[in-house]
């Protein structure tokens, strides 16, 4: 009986070793940050837009009183290396 348990446990462990890496494949992610003005002060209630360059869709959120913002479950988008981390800021006067 003990040999049968070991014989069943080894294939199960091998199967789990193959299945667990599959959970690393995600289709969405979260983006967080803080909005600062040119003087370094945080900006409360700022409108922050995440633009999906594949679909053209925009997702909008508003920064908190501390200037923090968070986008949840944004779809993963592949970008060219030169475009990663690009941000723009528009000021309203």
Q: Domain ranges in the chain?
A: 24-77
Q: What is the pLDDT of residues 25-61, one digit of tens each?
A: 678 888 899 999 889 999 999 999 888 878 888 899 9
Q: Return the closest-CA partner of residue 48 out of 59, 37, 36.
A: 59
Strands (E), 35-88: 47-51, 58-62, 68-75
- pTM of the predicted model, to two decimals? 0.59
Q: What is the pLDDT of residues 1-18, one digit of tens each?
A: 455 455 666 666 666 666
Q: Which helix (H) or strand (E) holds 31?
A: strand 28-34
What is the mean pLDDT of the segment spanning 64-71? 94
């Amino acid at each position: 009986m003990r040999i049968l348990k070991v014989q069943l446990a080894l294939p199960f462990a091998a199967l789990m070793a193959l299945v667990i890496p599959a959970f690393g494949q995600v289709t969405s992610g979260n983006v967080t940050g803080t909005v600062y003005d040119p003087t370094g002060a945080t900006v409360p209630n700022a409108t922050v837009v995440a633009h999906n360059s594949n679909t053209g869709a925009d997702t909008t959120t508003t920064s908190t009183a501390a200037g923090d913002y968070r986008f949840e479950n944004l779809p993963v988008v592949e970008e060219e290396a030169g475009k990663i981390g690009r941000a723009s800021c528009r000021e309203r006067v």
